[in-house]
Amino acid sequence: MNMDAIKDTYFAECGDQLAELESGLFDMSSGDTDPEIINSVFRAVHSIKGGAGAFALDDLVNFAHVFENALDVIRSDNSQSSPERIDLLLRCADVLNDIVTVARDGGDKIDCEEITKALENEFNLEEEDENAEEAVFDAVPISLDAFDFDDFGTPPKAFQIAFAPQNELYLHGHDPQRIFRELGELGTCTAKADTSKIPALDGYDPKVTNLSWNLTLEADANLSDVKAPFEWVEDFCTLEIEEPEEAPLEGGDDISDFLGGLDAGDDVDTSAFDDGDSLGAPVDVSEESEEAAPSLEVVETKAAPPAEAGKERQAASKPIRVDSAKVDRLINLMGEMVISQSMLTMQINDAGFTSGTPAGLALVELQNLTRDIQSSVMAIRAQPIKPVFMRMSRVVREVASATGKKANLVLEGESTEVDTTVIEGLSDPLTHMIRNSVDHGIESAEKRLAAGKPEVGEIRLSASHSSGSIVIEIRDDGAGINRPKVLEIARKKGIVSPDAKLSDDEIDNLIFAPGFSTSDEITDVSGRGVGMDVVRQSIQGLGGRVLISSEPGKGSHFTLHLPLTLAILDGMLVKTSEQILVLPVTSVIETIMFNKDDVFVIGEGNRVLKLRGQLVPLIDIGNTLGFSEKTTDWDNATIVVVESRKNEMSALVVDSIVGQQQVVIKSMESNYKRIPSIAAATILGSGRIALILDVDDIVSRGAKEITAQPSPKLEKIA
Amino acid sequence: MTTTVLAVDDSRTMRQMLEHCLKGAGFDVVLAEDGADGLEKLAANEPKVIITDINMPVMDGFEFIEAVRGGDSKSRLPILVLTTESDAAKKERARNAGATGWIVKPFDPEKLIGAVKRVMP
């Protein structure tokens, strides 16, 4: 692994940390005071800073450092938190995000001087002396020069060191041998063990350290070099270092001769200092003491709970990272499995095995399993929509600040899980819609106050599951769609004819028309010539629909319906003109047998079905799609009543219903081209291709045919 | 025989970095992503030196050090604290928990190796 690869990991991790940061701050801004939230926020900035330092990303380190200090103020004392401060922290998160982006992709240096100052003022952070900071980061006192020490040009000096470790020293994992070894790297070190304090065996307490050393170090080093190896043990020992006089002392040899000598550069065996008994070996003593002294068991039991608790918490949920290509492959394979299963079902049924036979039972088992596997695999791809929602809070902040408006984003159902592909495709249209809501929907603070509304506008973004689809709603409490203005613009731009009479709903929907923009001037925020038509296309591209409703003075309400998954559909298979077609089960209301008495003709041969007192357009689907000439003999036909996402119904006439099964969606656009009224295609168990109908499109066509009649007149069919 | 170092850090970047530096210096490396994971890895391996971050989810560095020190025969292993924390109080707390030494991030690979060599057996 090279540094570039580690850097990639770093930036990927930054993405996670930034999401964590923003999500935590957002929770804090909604009043959540759980200390774990500020901890995770702090950790996020802290980790970003840590990695940035390693890659010498100085801008990032500097800003993260101030940011971290500010967060630490709240972390240490939650009463220091206030809405204004959290708002500032949220803006800092945006800036941090930008700095990370520049560090990763390059680009102009982000100017963060102003916000840094604001942070320092708001949180009373003292501007740090750069040198002081430097000193802090240089806290590891290992002199690299000392390791390379081989210049004995100047005569060595002899330091006298009296070193008496305390129990604590061993308890902290230190070992005098290692200190001697390090001293030995400075020059020649000899050590004399002082065993005089070791008591006789009957008074011996294995938990008490009695051994100390007198060392002589001959080295051309200064006092701080000699002190360095003791840095971590200073508080756990008595240490006296006597600096040499000008002239180097000789006599180390004597000491070493006297006690057998110890060159600290070699492997040190402390038993050499006495008879080899464990008495003199501190490490052994302390290890033995654990077995010997029952009091230590108390320590063990005390320490056990955090370890176990930690394990438990960890076992609860531990995400793993998987290459999305692997998941995609799994999804594809599962799709193929669904197809194979339906082929098998067909073969087994054709062979005459009914559901009561062993083969039939095994098949049912297989179907259940396939369904379970499918939902499990889909769950892998599903992610909470939260990260996308979190990004919207930044959008609201930025647009509000750019337009001088005041707006608050309220999130609901952000833990709703949505297919990854849908999430990816949702970010752009959602951003655009939220921008529009702030820019065009929410009024200025003055206007709002004048209208008796709260000064701060509210945008409510919610996600939920509803009968096999994801529903995302954006509600604002702004001015609502200005219908006269929309109509005027649409007429001016030739989107509608000057004399067309449109319902409120139709006027509202004009904002989705290509090339429509209600803004008088193209603003920085939502203009740029990209309108709601692009939003609608994006949503449709995800297999979804976008609806609007609006109330003047009260606000607008956008509803996005998105499929749970883009890969599999529960389909009803119907037959018409020898073609098998698939209808999404979610859009089927009921199936009824054709009854002539319920069918009427309106105007020029348009048929409608009278269904419980309501007239529903009747569509001969085989004819509409061009499979057959319009047929009048519907005596043996079946009617499938379907409903669009706009809650409009149509009655589709088909020859028969074939069955119900899951189908794997194969895109028409990517394999062929878009065909009106067709949503996608699939491969059936027989290997045959079947088209999946776009119910919404079919229903809206049926409705148009009927409403296009100037004065509909109901007639009984012949 | 190669010396094994157990490195505990919640940041993937840091883990990769530690692994890169330590392996480059000839150490065997066992990685763990928080204190709890660290204790598991400690039980399953024979590290001679432990390096740990302080700020971690699930089980932080303080708890981890205390758990190691209160544990079995591996309780005397040298533990180096690796953290960007620069204030003295944190260092003091780590030391009270039983840390052997500390390395302040961002670490210089040579300093890291130097610190490990300083405490390794």
pLDDT of residue A148: 39
Q: What tokens appear for A549 in the block? A: 């409703």
The pLDDT > 70 percentage for chain A reads: 79
To 10 degrees, the CA torsion angle through A270, A276, A277, A278?
30
| Beta-carbon-side half-sphere exposure of residue A240 (alpha carbons within 13 Å) | 7
A307 touches chain B (CB under 8 A): yes
Could you give the CA distance from residue A436 to residue A472 in angstroms, rounded to a whole number?
A: 16
pLDDT of residue A133: 39
Put simply, the answer to whether A47 touches B11 (Cβ < 8 Å) is: yes
Could you give the CA distance from residue A213 to residue A235 in angstroms, rounded to a whole number?
A: 16
Mean of all residue pLDDT scores within chain B: 86
H/E element, A457: strand A457-466
Residue A284 has pLDDT above 50, yes or no: no
- Angle, helix A113-122 to helix A83-105, in steps of 10 degrees: 150
Arithmetic mean of pLDDT, A20-28: 87
Residue A640 has pLDDT above 70, yes or no: yes
Q: Which chain A residues are within 8 Å of B104, Cβ to Cβ?
A: 136-140
Residue pLDDT, tens place only, B41-74: 999 999 999 999 888 888 888 899 999 988 877 8
Most A-contacting residue of B3, B6, B11 (CB-CB within 10 A), to test interface: B11
Residue A152 has pLDDT above 50, yes or no: no
Most B-contacting residue of A172, A209, A266, A312 (CB-CB within 10 A), to test interface: A172
| Beta-carbon-side half-sphere exposure of residue B108 (alpha carbons within 13 Å) | 11
Could you give the CA distance from residue B51 to residue B103 in angstroms, rounded to a whole number?
A: 9
Residue B37 to chain A, least CA–CA distance (Å): 7
Arithmetic mean of pLDDT, B109-118: 84
Which amino acid, A174? H
Q: Which chain A residues are within 8 Å of B73, Cβ to Cβ?
A: 287, 290
Arithmetic mean of pLDDT, A629-633: 62
Q: What tokens appear for A713 in the block? A: 């007149």
Residue pLDDT, tens place only, A104-134: 888 888 888 888 998 888 888 876 544 443 3
**From A426-430, A644-648, B76-80, the region with the lowest mean pLDDT:** A644-648
Residue pLDDT, tens place only, A546-567: 889 899 889 999 999 887 766 6
Q: What tokens appear for B60 in the block? A: 């932080």
| Cis ω before A563 (30° cut-off from 0) | no
**For residue A525, what pLDDT band results from cuts at 50, 70 and 90?**
very low
Size of interface A-B (CB pairs under 8 A): 158
Nearest to A306 among B67, B100, B103 (CB): B67
Contact residues, A window 25-84, toward B, CB-based 8 Å cutoff: 40, 42-43, 46-47, 49-54, 61
Question: Which whole-number Å values give the CA distances from A601 to A108, A598, A703, in the listed order?
Answer: 68, 10, 14
Residue A285 has pLDDT above 80, yes or no: no
Contact residues, A window 680-709, toward B, CB-based 8 Å cutoff: none
Nearest to A1 among B20, B75, B78 (CB): B20
Residue B71 to chain A, least CA–CA distance (Å): 6
DSSP string, B62-99: HHHHHHHHTSSGGGGS-EEEEES--SHHHHHHHHHHT-
Put simply, the answer to whether A173 touches B107 (Cβ < 8 Å) is: no
Q: Which chain B residues are within 8 Å of A139, Cβ to Cβ?
A: 86, 102, 104
pLDDT of residue A476: 92
Task: Work out the end-to-end distance of chain A between its first and last CA atoms, rounded to an integer number of angstroms.
Answer: 80
Mean of all residue pLDDT scores within chain A: 77
**For residue A715, what pLDDT band results from cuts at 50, 70 and 90?**
low
B61 touches chain A (CB under 8 A): no
Report whether A192 contacts A160 (CB < 8 A). no
Least CA distance to A179: which residue of chain B?
B118
Domains of chain B: residue spans and CATH: 4-119 (3.40.50.2300)
pLDDT of residue A246: 56
pLDDT of residue A464: 87
A9 touches chain B (CB under 8 A): yes
How many CB atoms lie under 10 A from the CB of residue A520? 8
Q: Which chain B residues are within 8 Å of A42, Cβ to Cβ?
A: 55
Arithmetic mean of pLDDT, A687-709: 77
